[in-house]
Amino acid sequence: MKELFLFLKKYATPYKANILLSILFNLLTAFFTLFSFAFIIPILQMLFGISTTQYFYMEIGSASFKDVVVNNFYYYVAEMIANYGPSATLACLGLILVVMTLLKVLTAYFSEYFTIPMQNGVVRDIRRQMYDKIVSLPVGFFTNERKGDIMARLSGDVQEVQNSVMASLFSLVKYPVIIIACLGMMLFISWKLTVFVFIMLPIMGSLMGAVGKKLKAKSLAAQQKWGDILSSAEETIGGLRVIKAFNAEGFMERHFASETEQFYKINNAVGRRTALAHPMSEFLGTTAVAIILWFGGSLILSGNSDIDAAGFIYYMVMFYSIINPAKELSKVSYTIRKGMGAKERIDKILDAQNPIQDPESPRELTNGNAPVGVRFEDVTFRYSDDPDSRDVLKDVNLDVKAGQTVAIVGESGSGKSTLVDLIPRLWDVEHGHVKVDGIDVKDLRVHDLRGLMGNVNQEAILFNDTIFNNIAFGCDTATQQQVEEAARVANAHDFIMETEHGYQTMIGDRGCRLSGGQRQRISIARAILKNPAVLILDEATSALDTESERLVQEALEALMKGRTTIVIAHRLSTIVNADRICVLHRGEIVESGTHDELIALGGHYKRLVDMQHL
């Protein structure tokens, strides 16, 4: 329960008013529950002849408070019988019982009415926090995580918290109040019997706790397996072409069947253990009633009890009023254990540390929209903290002057993309410095730094939205005219106008309704609209056909004018006119110069050119 209270302290604090109002109405519900049942006793005693005792009005202080209250209550009922008759008294008591019950159900409704916004609000807050954290975490966090598993935590695990922890919260607020109120009344009626109950109930509770002990671990395993299933489904949909091309349908089906079979078995274990809660609580509750009946009845028969038979009936009514709340609380403990397993998986994201932070005293950029220089000084980088892992970059020194176009070439795996990822701090270097406009990138605000950058990647990353919104992505103030101008520079305006709704055409998931060249030109238009000081082109034309490449290359040349540009290219024909070409080999810059200088050198670059038959 400690975990639950820490969870509520963290997330339920903004809803303190809802909790207090719910507790208030639960107290009122308990009050009306107690005193509505009190009208059963005089009906039994006086209307059906169970008791013939004569009652007289007693002044407060003439006897114990309990005796005065009980005696005067019976006195007024007896007076009603004497003055109006048994039938009228029964009608009056029945009417009071109906009114008390109406008040009880109304207060019970309002207790839940104020709990519901808290339940849904906490879940909403968790989901927002998770999404915000996912967006803010560095790229490195997701290299060891599966996309489907992240989605499972954002959807399934949060839903599990809602279905278990938050749905049980009303029970945690309501039932303890009822139990405490009923126990208080039981103490008022007979302290001897109630002491016996206090001894017995913890024994019953410990038996219930033993049954649900392993439920949290089983639930956590179920949520993890659900994440694996979502990951498998996401990978299957994304790789369907490859699966069909290699006739691997059977293999994937067997793999998915294995995952779902394990999930089925874990869910069976969780469901069976949860299903045991109700019959177990029913049996233990009946056992407790039988023991109380025996013990209390024995006291009354022996003449050692502090209550009479009618009082014992009311006492048993109070005890029965505890049984259902106790059952519900026992089921709540099971349910919460399930939810705590999902919460652990959520916390893995929410508690993740982001090493890429703004400095305490950030420096300001003063370049406006003018191009800036980029400089690498003795940069060494590896992805893992493991000392045995290899360096992806080794002592890289590179100075890109403001307004220059510098190309980075080399074989796959040489560290080209890693090098440019260090500029916007997608990763942080531990050895050496990356500087923009003479300022170490770690001394700048991350938002300001990335505001300088424009990226066009090999894979055009677009969103399932309109063409307009994809071009204006990240620029909330963009006008229709500005978007159209950017599209014209990117050679995209003509094909956009040929679509069904022009700039308001939906492009589908990842832009699937557009060709590769069209997607790339939309990406370029997006970069043009941003008007970046530093442009990073990561193999922007490598996946295009000849005609698309020509149109995209023209758009890129328009985009590169007046900017500091770093180009990563496999097609060396696209970077012949670069101001400087750097050859990266196994994480080191082994050659640097113009195209003609590197050809004359006859080294790595010339070998790459010869392989492409330039």
Tell whether 46 and 113 lie within a shared domain: yes
> Are residues 324 and 380 part of one domain?
no
Q: Does residue 126 belong to any structural domain of this protein? A: yes
pLDDT at 216 over 70: no
Residues 6+ apart with CB under 8 A from 177: 23, 26, 27, 29, 30
Q: Tokens representing 406?
A: 């510098």
Q: Is the pLDDT of residue 157 over 60?
A: yes
Within-domain flag for 356: no
Greater confidence (58 vs 546) lies with 58
442 and 547 inside one domain: yes
Residue 365: inside a domain = no
**Same-domain pairing of 541 and 439:** yes
Query: Which of 299, 334, 350 is where one domain is finished?
Result: 350
The answer to whether position 261 is within a domain reads yes
Residue 306 belongs to domain spanning: 2-350
Q: Domain check: are 459 and 540 in the same one?
A: yes
Can you give the CATH number for the domain in which 488 is found? Answer: 3.40.50.300
In a domain, 299, yes or no: yes
Three-class SS state of 500: coil
User: Does residue 231 sit in the same domain as residue 282?
Assistant: yes
Distance CA 125, CA 12 (A): 10
**Residues 404, 342 share a domain:** no
Verify that 441 and 539 share a domain, yes or no. Answer: yes
Please check whether residue 541 is in contact with residue 350, taking contact to mean a CB–CB distance below 8 angstroms: no
Are 569 and 473 contained in the same domain? yes
Residue type, 439: I
Task: Report the side by side order of strands in the sheet with 580-585.
Answer: 453-457, 534-538, 564-568, 405-409, 580-585, 588-593
Domain containing residue 31: CATH number: 1.20.1560.10
pLDDT of residue 504: 92
Asked if 340 and 413 sit in the same domain, the reply is: no
In which residue are the tokens 């659900």 written? 226
Give the start-end residues of each E strand in 104-215: none
Q: Within this chain, do residues 278 and 400 fall inside the same structural domain, yes or no?
A: no
- Last residue of one domain, picked from the residues 335, 350, 365: 350
Residue-averaged pLDDT of the chain: 79
- pLDDT for 527-580, tens place per residue? 888 888 888 888 766 656 666 667 777 777 777 777 888 888 877 777 888 889
**344 and 287 share a domain?**
yes
Domain membership flag for residue 367: no
Residue 515, in any domain of the structure: yes
pTM: 0.69
| pLDDT tens-digit map of 10-53 | 888 888 888 889 888 988 888 887 777 666 666 666 555 555 45
Long-range contacts of 64-70 (CB under 8 A, 24+ apart): 66/188
User: 271-312 pLDDT, tens per residue?
Assistant: 777 677 667 766 776 777 777 778 777 777 776 666 766 667
List residues bridging with 566 in a β-sheet: 406, 536
Q: How confident is residue 386, by pLDDT bands cut at 50, 70 and 90? A: low
- Rounded CA-CA distance 256/249 in Å is 10
Instruction: Write down which residue in 287, 318, 350 finishes a domain.
Output: 350
251 has a pLDDT exceeding 60: yes
3-class SS shares of the chain: helix, strand, coil, % to 5: 65, 10, 25
Q: Answer yes or no: are the C-beta atoms of 187 and 194 closer than 8 Å.
A: yes
What's the structural domain count of the chain? 2
Q: Is residue 542 in a domain?
A: yes
Q: For residue 508, give the 3-state DSSP assignment.
A: coil
Contact indicator for 34, 73 with CB cutoff of 8 Å? no
Measured between alpha carbons, how far is residue 298 from residues 137, 303, 304, 323 in Å? 68, 9, 9, 22
pLDDT single digits (tens) 453-507: 888 877 778 888 888 988 888 887 888 998 988 888 888 888 889 888 899 998 8
